[in-house]
Amino acid sequence: MVAPGFCRLSLEAPKIAAAARPGQFVQVYMFSGRRPMLPRPFSIFNANPGQGQISFFIEVKGPGTAMLAAAKKNETWSLLGPLGNGFPAMPEGSLLVAGGAGIAPLVFLAASTQKERLLIYGAPSATMLTCPSSDLDLPGLITLEATEDGSRGEKGTAPELLAVKIKEASAVFSCGPCGMLAAVKSLCVSHGVPGWVSVEERMACGIGACVGCVIKTGNGYRRVCKDGPVFPVEEVVFDEQG
Amino acid sequence: MVAPGFCRLSLEAPKIAAAARPGQFVQVYMFSGRRPMLPRPFSIFNANPGQGQISFFIEVKGPGTAMLAAAKKNETWSLLGPLGNGFPAMPEGSLLVAGGAGIAPLVFLAASTQKERLLIYGAPSATMLTCPSSDLDLPGLITLEATEDGSRGEKGTAPELLAVKIKEASAVFSCGPCGMLAAVKSLCVSHGVPGWVSVEERMACGIGACVGCVIKTGNGYRRVCKDGPVFPVEEVVFDEQG
Amino acid sequence: MNRADLNNHGDLNLQVDLAGIKLKTPVLLASGPAGYGHEYRELLDFRTLGAIIVKGISLEPWTGNLPPRLAETSCGLLNAVGLQNPGVEYFLKEDLPALRNSGTKVIVNVVGCSPDEYAAVTSRLDGKEGIDGLEINISCPNVKAGGMAFGTDPKATAKLVEKVRRETELPLVIKLTPNVTDISTVARAAETAGADGLSLINTLAGMLIDTENQKPLLGNTFGGLSGPAVMPVALKMVWQAAAAVRIPVLGMGGINSADDALQFIMAGARAVAIGTGLFYNPGLPVEINKGLAGYLHDKGYNSLAEVEGVARRQKGAD
Amino acid sequence: MNRADLNNHGDLNLQVDLAGIKLKTPVLLASGPAGYGHEYRELLDFRTLGAIIVKGISLEPWTGNLPPRLAETSCGLLNAVGLQNPGVEYFLKEDLPALRNSGTKVIVNVVGCSPDEYAAVTSRLDGKEGIDGLEINISCPNVKAGGMAFGTDPKATAKLVEKVRRETELPLVIKLTPNVTDISTVARAAETAGADGLSLINTLAGMLIDTENQKPLLGNTFGGLSGPAVMPVALKMVWQAAAAVRIPVLGMGGINSADDALQFIMAGARAVAIGTGLFYNPGLPVEINKGLAGYLHDKGYNSLAEVEGVARRQKGAD
Ligand SMILES: Cc1cc2nc3c(=O)[nH]c(=O)nc-3n(C[C@H](O)[C@H](O)[C@H](O)COP(=O)(O)OP(=O)(O)OC[C@H]3O[C@@H](n4cnc5c(N)ncnc54)[C@H](O)[C@@H]3O)c2cc1C
Ligand SMILES: Cc1cc2nc3c(=O)[nH]c(=O)nc-3n(C[C@H](O)[C@H](O)[C@H](O)COP(=O)(O)OP(=O)(O)OC[C@H]3O[C@@H](n4cnc5c(N)ncnc54)[C@H](O)[C@@H]3O)c2cc1C
Ligand SMILES: Cc1cc2nc3c(=O)[nH]c(=O)nc-3n(C[C@H](O)[C@H](O)[C@H](O)COP(=O)(O)O)c2cc1C
Ligand SMILES: Cc1cc2nc3c(=O)[nH]c(=O)nc-3n(C[C@H](O)[C@H](O)[C@H](O)COP(=O)(O)O)c2cc1C
Ligand code: FES
Ligand code: FES
């Protein structure tokens, strides 16, 4: 538990740790024919190939995440990964935009380089800025916090802050709730800044076989698990369904 | 765990302990819409009104009994009971015939009096005579063990031993597998000795409402949970279905 | 406001009118699991119930099916009780008097082997004090028509409902079977023939095999599946039935929480019934009432009517 | 003999002949969950499978349904993928070549909007190297007949099967939908029209509602229920279908263990398929093979044929 309803889970998984790229995810198997039944996907929050470890940053939402939050030391979990495409290489002067639990893949991304980069981290209020600040204490990373109620950092939403900062950005990398990503998309498009977003959808196989996890894109339905989870922001179609 | 696959579970349940009569049972609630879903019925093995405790003697068969066998100290379980009719009063010179896990209600019955009584306790082999001998160490109770492979006590089945002893018996009280109870029935009927058996059937409500737990009797289908679990042996119809 | 305080539901109105029966709350006991109510009255305060629907009653006593009659499945229960019941005369004499004082409305579930038998039971129940409505269980095999259930054929359903309708002025709820290709046509047939309401679903046909003994686990081979496993199937059929008719619908099938109950109401049900859930949690009806009241309170609604069918309106399904 | 040693099944014969397709083992991958096989080959040794049944293939590419397409239920999975697929030409060019070397037999699941489309797909697949049989999914909506699935009407089923039969000599397995009043008549219609085998069940129609957003959870409103929740329903339909026809039956629906698989075989199935189980346990097919071999060994049987339908014989159901 790092904050109420959130936990950081570290696992020994040398192969995944060695192969993982920022933006990729891992399926955690529950191995049961009842809820939680399907494997649960989590972004890789941190990968340490030296120690053979990876970690997740998990928000407890239902039975699967509750089980993981209750996991004890030395328990064994079955993992499949790394899965998905991951983010492209980040250019100098990139802007990372995280909403709430969407911080997970962006921390790994931020840690993957020492280039100049700025993280905008927004949430409705201070209590939802749950990522431990030690995880954000990365060489050369500047973090700007934003809360809608002004309880920490700037008062406002992450996209509002992005609107101010985007002019100086070479590229935008974002993860968070749909509404936020939609706002990020309009900003990127209107400013002509390339952007990438990591999106979520309910998954079954997690490996591209079942076509269950699609989202609407400009190129038709695309699989989040195999074609994503990272998509060029202009490709993703956000609508009320989201 | 008192033997592999068996456990003795003691619970604080003052009201049940005070009201319980031998042959009655308790429903243990699982409170879940998935297996183990339905409450599980167990005979009262021991009731101590003074200490407000009851105990069960449980054979692990599936998910429900496995959960109970794994129960930890200070856990709370929801119980409903005592349920069912229980055995009638036991006359001097009664014979108790137990097969395997069927020992549970007969130990409570044996402990309910100091009258002269004989317990025949049979199982396929010694490892299945699982009831701790301390529980059978009751004033005035004589226990005869029987195993089919002769690994402990007499070699033979409980009914074979009963056939020898029944002539001296005033009444027979029995619990165990169907095949054994059917043999007990023929012996009681042919010797004109009154007999009572505690039978089992899958239950849902446990209180007589759903008519799910019936067995075939000379008086039509009767509910094990409400009209039983103890029936006059001549009333029960044993057939291949059992 | 604390959820635990919601027992009296504050100002919230949980009352509903089901086919002319005024219910204090929208949570009923489904026919079967609670029998004729005697036993569960000790485990559950009946005054918190909208109504109890008693177990199916036939003209003469029925003996029911060979045991075993029950089996647990993955998130479900198979039963093959076979509608064992003591017959209508016994019910009137021995069960109804106690039900009159149980603190809730009483709906009697009616079964039969022929339209004449259904009609005869209905006629015997008509006008009896303490009976607030009838639920006609049309899942019984139509003996004259090869044993398929009445409720699998819209024409047989219509005939049966018309016949029963002539015998009583009592609110008439027709209980549909889910083992059909198209629930809408059966629902419409029942409405046109004079039903005041529909209830669904009855159990889904199923079976298990005991691989040790190499034979079906239930004495009757086939049984009816209920419990959480069937909930998505039940919800879909309630959605379809509510689209097909204008009379109110009583939804049931695997309801295990207030959220499940809300799903049925948002699909178009006027009220819900709990069957299998009672076995594993006799407090479930009370929990669901509290949960529904909590939901209305939290979202600022004044009555359940405001959410009835709301998911259908959003989808433009009406 | 240790269960763990049973990987090679010793002397035991797990081979079966399904509709003329010789299968190494009686455990197949059901159509859909494993797509066209590429991805699961890394998680599962296909040589242990009787066959892979690939995901439904139509004449032209189908785009499928609006997301969300998946939802978990109590012991079940709802899916509304909507048969998204790249069409038969793409399949032949991009998917079939890899399947030829996958180490197992290949059965292609065929879908369509009209009998003509089914026939056209069948004709394109006919005679292609590496295709061992076809499974005709008759759960698709019959667009010309009001959108009810072909498989809900015995006449529409017969017409469809006859038409497809004319296009190929390949073994033809007809995949039945469980959303029908009477599976027997559909099963017989398919047999009479020329089917070599039947497979069932496809998913049960169901839905869920998101009470937070007050709308159906799936983008398509309705979806198909699969997984352990449906197993007793599937088993009963396999039992009935096996009673109705002489051609072999491939059983599926919620199989989660070797004991489940045995139940289907004892009900009369020749072989079984695993769908949803693959998602939560990719090793399930291998486990089931081992479990079946272990059962045969422990009980002294030499082949699965000795237990096929054994629970039916005991009940005198044949
Ligand atoms: C590629 C990917 C990466 C993810 N990374 C993270 C992460 O790093 N940290 C984290 O906390 N969560 C992450 N998620 C979301 C996480 O997978 C879900 O919250 C989790 O599966 C919920 O399981 P549950 O059993 O606890 O809740 P459930 O009862 O299954 O669901 C609770 C609620 O969560 C939502 N939900 C469920 N599954 C998904 C899903 N696959 N995608 C989106 N929403 C879902 C639904 O609204 C549902 O009502 C990610 C999802 C995807 C697809
Ligand atoms: C009145 C009564 C008293 C009982 N007393 C005892 C007791 O003192 N100690 C004890 O160990 N067991 C007793 N039982 C049996 C016990 O209830 C079952 O073994 C238990 O419910 C199995 O639950 P499970 O989840 O472990 O296994 P499940 O998976 O539910 O069942 C495993 C196997 O046990 C059998 N079984 C399941 N339920 C019952 C049942 N209600 N009656 C008979 N067989 C069943 C079936 O063959 C089943 O295949 C009693 C049963 C009844 C009806
Ligand atoms: C043990 C049992 C007995 C039942 N008996 C009847 C009955 O007599 N008449 C009837 O219409 N439905 C009967 N049902 C069906 C239920 O009323 C209900 O429709 C079904 O179980 C689905 O709801 P549930 O999942 O909440 O149990 C019975 C169900 C069970 C489990
Ligand atoms: C995600 C998914 C996709 C499916 N796609 C198909 C399909 O394309 N064609 C078909 O005939 N059945 C399809 N099915 C049905 C399965 O083949 C199977 O009949 C059903 O899921 C029951 O088996 P199960 O419970 O083991 O999954 C699909 C099922 C799932 C879960
Ligand atoms: S989860 Fe199966 S394709 Fe993405
Ligand atoms: S278990 Fe319901 S009547 Fe006995």
> C39-52 as b/e, with b when 16 or more CB fall inside 10 Å?
bbbeebebebbbbb
Residue C140 a catalytic site member? yes
Please tell me the number of the ligand nearest to residue D72's CA.
1
Express each pLDDT in D12-40 by its tens digit: 779 999 999 999 999 999 999 999 999 99
The pLDDT score that the predictor gives to residue D222 is 97
What's phi and psi for B159, nearest 5 deg? -60, -35
The pLDDT score that the predictor gives to residue D3 is 37
Mean pLDDT of chain C: 94
Chains that touch C (3 or more CB pairs under 8 A): A, B, D
> B45-70 as b/e, with b when 16 or more CB fall inside 10 Å?
bbbeeeeebbbbbbbbeeebbebbbe
Q: Output the CA D56–ligand 4 centroid distance in Å.
A: 9
Indicate the pLDDT class of residue D318, thresholds 50, 70 and 90: low
D74 touches chain B (CB under 8 A): yes
The three-point CA angle A62-A68-A74 to 5° equals: 165
* C254 contacts on B by Cβ (under 8 Å): 33
Distances (CA, A) of C262 to A20, B101, C21, C26, D213: 43, 45, 20, 11, 12
Indicate the pLDDT class of residue A186, thresholds 50, 70 and 90: very high
Does the pLDDT at position C7 exceed 70?
A: no
Express each pLDDT in B101-155 by its tens digit: 899 999 999 999 999 999 999 999 999 999 999 999 999 999 999 999 999 999 9
Determine the Cα–Cα distance for residues A176 and A238; give it in Å rounded to an integer.
Answer: 13
% of residues, chain B, pLDDT over 90: 95
The pLDDT score that the predictor gives to residue A240 is 56
- Looking at residue D69, what DSSP letter applies? -
Express each pLDDT in A32-57 by its tens digit: 999 999 999 999 999 999 999 999 99
Q: How large is the average pLDDT for residues D210-221? A: 96
Please tell me the number of the ligand nearest to residue A223's CA.
5
Instruction: Give the DSSP per-residue string, B71-111.
Output: --TT----EEEEES--PPPPPTTEEEEEEGGGHHHHHHHHH
Q: How large is the average pLDDT for residues A191-200? A: 97
* Residues paired with D110 in a beta bridge: D57, D136
Residue, of A91 and D1, whose pLDDT is higher: A91
Express each pLDDT in C261-314 by its tens digit: 999 999 999 999 999 999 999 999 999 999 999 999 999 999 999 999 999 986
> Which residue in A65, A63, A68 sits closest to A11, CA to CA?
A68
Determine the Cα–Cα distance for residues D121 and C53; give it in Å rounded to an integer.
Answer: 52
Chains that touch B (3 or more CB pairs under 8 A): A, C, D
Measured between CA atoms, the residue of chain A closest to residue D226 is A33
- Residue to substitute in A6, A40, A175 for testing ligand 1 pocket (most ligand atoms within 8 angstroms of CB): A40
**Contact call for D206 and C256, based on CB within 8 A:** no
**Contact call for A30 and D66, based on CB within 8 A:** no
DSSP-H helix ranges across A166-233: 178-191
Pocket of ligand 2 contains residue B65 by CB under 6 Å: yes
**Coil, helix or strand for D21?**
strand
C130 Cβ contact list (under 8 Å, min separation 6): C96, C97, C99, C100, C106
Does the pLDDT at position C4 exceed 90?
A: no
Pairing assessment for the beta strands D204-206 and D223-226 based on DSSP bridges:
antiparallel
% of residues, chain A, pLDDT over 90: 95
Determine the Cα–Cα distance for residues A221 and A213; give it in Å rounded to an integer.
Answer: 9
Interface test with A, best of D43, D69, D212 (most A CBs within 10 A): D69
Mean pLDDT of chain B: 95
Contact of D81 with A221, CB cutoff 8 Å: no
The region, left, alpha or beta by phi > 0 then psi within -120 to 50, assigned to residue C286 is alpha
> Which residue in C65, C64, C27, C63 sits closest to C46, CA to CA?
C27
Determine the Cα–Cα distance for residues C2 and B197; give it in Å rounded to an integer.
Answer: 51
Indicate the pLDDT class of residue C96, thresholds 50, 70 and 90: very high
Q: Output the CA A44–ligand 5 centroid distance in Å.
A: 18
> C151-178 as b/e, with b when 16 or more CB fall inside 10 Å?
bbbbebbbbbbbbbbebbebbbbbbbbb
Q: How large is the average pLDDT for residues D196-206? A: 98
* Residues paired with B3 in a beta bridge: B6
Q: Please give the tally of structural domains in chain C.
A: 1
Express each pLDDT in C146-168 by its tens digit: 788 999 999 999 999 999 999 99
Three-state secondary structure readout of C156-177 = HHHHHHHHHHCCCCCCEEEECC
What's phi and psi for D81, nearest 5 deg? -70, -30
Instruction: Give the DSSP per-residue string, chain C.
Output: --GGGGGG-TT-B--EEETTEEESSSEEEPTTTTTTSTTGGGTS-GGGSSEEEEEEE-SS-B--PPSP-EEEETTEEEE-----B--HHHIIIIIHHHHHTSSSEEEEEE--SSHHHHHHHHHHHTT-TT--EEEEETTSB-GGGTT-BGGG-HHHHHHHHHHHHTT--S-EEEE--S-SS-HHHHHHHHHHTT-SEEEE--PEEE--EETTTTEESSTTS-EEEESGGGHHHHHHHHHHHHHH-SS-EEEESS--SHHHHHHHHHTT-SEEEESTHHHH-TTHHHHHHHHHHHHHHHHT-SBGGGTTTHHHHHTT--
Measured between CA atoms, the residue of chain A closest to residue B34 is A34
CATH number at residue C159: 3.20.20.70
Measured between CA atoms, the residue of chain C closest to residue A33 is C74
D229 touches chain C (CB under 8 A): yes
What's phi and psi for C51, nearest 5 deg? -170, 160
Chains that touch A (3 or more CB pairs under 8 A): B, C, D
Contact of D31 with D55, CB cutoff 8 Å: yes
Q: How large is the average pLDDT for residues A84-105? A: 96
* B34 contacts on D by Cβ (under 8 Å): 74-75
Please tell me the number of the ligand nearest to residue D70's CA.
4
DSSP-H helix ranges across chain A: 14-19, 63-69, 103-111, 158-165, 178-191
% of residues, chain D, pLDDT over 70: 95
> Which residue in D42, D101, D58 sits closest to A209, CA to CA?
D42
The three-point CA angle D63-D67-D72 to 5° equals: 125
The pLDDT score that the predictor gives to residue D1 is 33
Indicate the pLDDT class of residue D249, thresholds 50, 70 and 90: very high
**Contact call for B205 and C278, based on CB within 8 A:** yes
Express each pLDDT in D144-200 by its tens digit: 877 889 999 999 999 999 999 999 999 999 999 999 999 999 999 999 999 999 999
Indicate the pLDDT class of residue C316, thresholds 50, 70 and 90: low
Q: How large is the average pLDDT for residues A179-205? A: 97
- Looking at residue D44, what DSSP letter applies? S
* Residues paired with D249 in a beta bridge: D198
Q: Output the CA C240–ligand 4 centroid distance in Å.
A: 23
Q: Shortest CB distance from B201 goes to which of C67, C77, C79?
A: C67
The Cβ-side half-sphere exposure at A7, using a 13 Å CA radius, reads 15
**Coil, helix or strand for D205?**
strand
Determine the Cα–Cα distance for residues D40 and D286; give it in Å rounded to an integer.
Answer: 13
**Coil, helix or strand for B35?**
coil
The pLDDT score that the predictor gives to residue A215 is 98
Residue with tokens 């390339």: A194
- C154-165 vs C183-192: helix crossing angle, rounded to 10: 30
Distances (CA, A) of D123 to B106, D64, D157, D169: 72, 23, 18, 10
Does the pLDDT at position D2 exceed 90?
A: no
Does the pLDDT at position C76 exceed 90?
A: yes
Determine the Cα–Cα distance for residues D275 and D277; give it in Å rounded to an integer.
Answer: 5
Determine the Cα–Cα distance for residues C99 and C114; give it in Å rounded to an integer.
Answer: 27
Measured between CA atoms, the residue of chain A closest to residue C228 is A34
The pLDDT score that the predictor gives to residue D11 is 58
D105: enclosing H helix or E strand: strand D105-110
- Looking at residue A146, what DSSP letter applies? E
* Ligand 4 site, CB within 6 A: A 210, 212; D 30-33, 55-56, 77, 79, 81, 83, 109, 137, 175, 202-203, 226-227, 230, 252-255, 274-277
Contact of C85 with C58, CB cutoff 8 Å: yes
Determine the Cα–Cα distance for residues D158 and D156; give it in Å rounded to an integer.
Answer: 5
Q: Would you state the structure tokens that stand for residue D27, as one six-digit string?
A: 């455990």
Does the pLDDT at position A224 exceed 60?
A: yes
* B33 contacts on D by Cβ (under 8 Å): 74
* D148 contacts on C by Cβ (under 8 Å): 181-182
What's phi and psi for D109, nearest 5 deg? -85, 125
Determine the Cα–Cα distance for residues C204 and D201; give it in Å rounded to an integer.
Answer: 14
Express each pLDDT in C197-226 by its tens digit: 999 999 999 999 999 999 999 999 999 999
Strand order through the sheet with A154-155: A154-155, A141-147, A117-123, A94-99, A171-175, A195-198, A230-232
Would you tell me how many other CB atoms lie within 10 Å of the CB of residue B190?
Answer: 10
Q: Would you state the structure tokens that stand for residue B169, as one six-digit string?
A: 């018996």
Range of the structural domain that residue D226 is part of: 3-315
* Residues paired with C134 in a beta bridge: C108, C172
Indicate the pLDDT class of residue A241, thresholds 50, 70 and 90: very low
Longest dimension (CA), chain D: 58
Does the pLDDT at position B79 exceed 50?
A: yes
Does the pLDDT at position D241 exceed 60?
A: yes
> Which residue in D4, D97, D7, D23 sits closest to D273, CA to CA?
D23
Among residues D106, D140, D183, D266, which one is catalytic? Answer: D140
Q: Output the CA B133–ligand 1 centroid distance in Å.
A: 54
The pLDDT score that the predictor gives to residue D315 is 64
> Which residue in B128, B130, B123 sits closest to B97, CA to CA?
B123
- Which ligand 5 atom is nearest residue A211's CA? 3
- Which ligand 4 atom is nearest residue D70's CA? 1
**Coil, helix or strand for A42?**
strand
